[in-house]
């Protein structure tokens, strides 16, 4: 089974700690013996696996079903069908295929794992956790199962339950970026920003080109830690791969915190070039221009007028800004 095709990953916003759910099915007490297949049927199943591996899913499904017509208890055929539906993201059809395989052969790891993935993707999280536990009973050292059960717990808002599995996944394969990201998300939800930051950075080091979202997670935590020079360095990299109004706005903010006002003003201007309705970036321009006017003993009237214009543009876009209104009233803008 192509298990690592179905390693799941997410970062979540809320956290409630609780204990892990125990599996309801005791896989060491299988009530059904593994189904026997004839040599001819096994060769046919192998042919279907080859077709699946080459991406010929229609042919593979047809062959698997031919096997089941001859032998309706051929577990590997059900697993193969479930695999294909997972690849096709057809979770509704994958789940019953794996459910049948699990019923036929409870001690089949691939069947339990595939069933867990399909349940997770159907957002049946409690059932998915139980299925992952059954899979891990059969193979506790499987990295994918450990990581996926951790992501399921995160989706349930249970980072404390996720922690042991996320840490085990990294221990099993720390060079896999998704495992590091899952652990980082868990640490972040548990209020351990330094540990989360280290895991996010470890993940980025394993990627040829870190994703913009991963870099934003790193920037967010660096900001929380007030490591502003590193925020600037990371955001400078971010705008190279994701030159958006949000990225340049973030860069302008970080440069301002470092006192590099000229660079900050330029970044905010680029942010507005990308999106004329970005009122936060307009505020950034206004603050920089107002700062320039104040530092110049209030003689730079051009900066004063620019600040006046952009603050009023910002308020036109978003009138609910009491701090901007206070600035306008204080300095007669």
Residue 176 included in any domain? no
pLDDT given at position 28: 40
Residue 233 included in any domain? no
Structure tokens at 152: 């399921």
* b/e sequence 230-266, b meaning 16+ C-beta within 10 Å: bbbebbebbbeeeeebbbbbbbbbbbbeeebbebbbb
Radius of gyration of the chain (CA): 27
Residue 333 included in any domain? yes
Residue 165 included in any domain? no
Given a contact cutoff of 8 angstroms between Cβ atoms, the answer to whether 94 and 118 are in contact is: yes
Q: Count up the domains in the chain and report the number.
A: 2
Tell me which of 118, 138, 156 is where a domain ends: 156
Given a contact cutoff of 8 angstroms between Cβ atoms, the answer to whether 113 and 142 are in contact is: yes
Residue 198 included in any domain? no
Alpha carbons 239 and 246: distance in angstroms, whole number? 9
pLDDT given at position 4: 38
* Pair (13, 138) in one structural domain: yes
Tell me which of 156, 188, 205 is where a domain ends: 156
| DSSP type of residue 296 | T
CA angle 54, 57, 58 (to 5 degrees): 135
CATH of residue 7: 1.25.40.10
Helix (H, G, I), strand (E, B) or coil at 276: coil
Alpha carbons 156 and 171: distance in angstroms, whole number? 23
Q: Report in angstroms the alpha-carbon separations of 144 from 58, 182, 228.
A: 27, 11, 36
pLDDT given at position 31: 41
Structure tokens at 4: 């690592």
Half-sphere exposure of residue 318: CA atoms within 13 angstroms, side-chain side: 16
pLDDT given at position 21: 27
* Pair (137, 2) in one structural domain: yes
* Pair (3, 148) in one structural domain: yes
Alpha carbons 314 and 270: distance in angstroms, whole number? 16
What is the residue range of 141's domain? 1-156
> What are the residue ranges of helices labelled H in 10-124?
39-53, 57-70, 75-87, 91-104, 109-121
pLDDT given at position 139: 95
Given a contact cutoff of 8 angstroms between Cβ atoms, the answer to whether 256 and 267 are in contact is: no
Residue 163 included in any domain? no
* Pair (20, 136) in one structural domain: yes
Residue 187 included in any domain? no
Alpha carbons 98 and 112: distance in angstroms, whole number? 7
* Pair (138, 262) in one structural domain: no
* Pair (1, 141) in one structural domain: yes
pLDDT in tens, the chain (333 residues): 444 345 454 443 333 223 222 233 333 434 445 557 677 777 777 787 788 887 888 888 888 888 888 888 889 899 999 999 999 999 999 999 999 999 999 999 999 999 999 999 999 999 999 999 999 999 999 999 999 999 999 999 999 999 999 999 999 987 788 899 999 999 999 999 999 999 999 998 888 888 889 999 999 999 988 899 999 999 999 999 889 999 999 999 999 999 999 999 999 999 999 999 999 999 999 999 999 999 988 888 899 999 999 999 999 999 999 999 999 999 888
CA angle 197, 249, 318 (to 5 degrees): 120
Alpha carbons 155 and 15: distance in angstroms, whole number? 9
Tell me which of 156, 171, 189 is where a domain ends: 156
Alpha carbons 108 and 1: distance in angstroms, whole number? 11
Residue 235 included in any domain? no
Query: What is this structure's pTM?
Result: 0.77
Given a contact cutoff of 8 angstroms between Cβ atoms, the answer to whether 290 and 331 are in contact is: yes
* Pair (14, 144) in one structural domain: yes
* Pair (14, 120) in one structural domain: yes
* Pair (136, 35) in one structural domain: yes
pLDDT given at position 39: 73
């Amino acid at each position: 089974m192509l298990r690592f095709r179905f390693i799941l990953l997410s970062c979540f916003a809320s956290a409630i700690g609780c204990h892990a759910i125990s599996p309801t099915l005791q896989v060491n007490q299988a009530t059904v013996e593994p189904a026997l297949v004839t040599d001819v049927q096994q060769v046919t199943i192998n042919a279907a696996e080859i077709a699946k591996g080459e991406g010929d899913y229609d042919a593979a499904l047809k062959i698997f079903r031919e096997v089941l017509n001859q032998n309706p208890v051929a577990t590997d055929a059900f697993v193969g069908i479930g695999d294909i539906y997972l690849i096709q993201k057809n979770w509704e059809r994958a789940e019953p295929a794996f459910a049948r395989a699990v019923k036929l052969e409870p001690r089949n790891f691939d069947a339990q794992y595939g069933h867990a993935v399909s349940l997770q993707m159907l957002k049946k999280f409690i059932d998915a956790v139980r299925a992952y536990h059954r899979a891990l009973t059969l193979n506790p050292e499987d990295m994918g199962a450990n990581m996926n059960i951790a992501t399921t717990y995160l989706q349930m808002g249970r980072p404390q339950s996720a922690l042991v599995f996320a840490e085990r996944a990294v221990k099993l394969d720390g060079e896999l970026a998704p495992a590091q990201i899952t652990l980082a998300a868990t640490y972040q939800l548990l209020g351990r920003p330094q540990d989360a930051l280290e895991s996010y950075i470890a993940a980025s080091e394993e990627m040829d080109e870190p994703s913009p979202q991963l870099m934003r997670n790193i920037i967010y935590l660096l900001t929380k830690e007030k490591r502003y020079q590193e925020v600037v360095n990371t955001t400078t990299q971010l705008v190279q791969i994701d030159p958006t109004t949000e990225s340049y706005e973030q860069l302008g903010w970080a440069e301002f915190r470092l006192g590099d006002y000229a660079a900050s003003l330029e970044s905010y201007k680029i942010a507005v070039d990308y999106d004329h309705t970005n009122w936060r970036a307009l505020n950034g321009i206004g603050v920089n221009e107002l700062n320039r006017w104040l530092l110049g003993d209030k003689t730079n009237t051009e900066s004063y007028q620019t600040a006046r214009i952009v603050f009023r543009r910002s308020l036109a876009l978003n009138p609910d800004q009491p701090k901007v209104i206070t600035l306008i009233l204080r300095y007669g803008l």
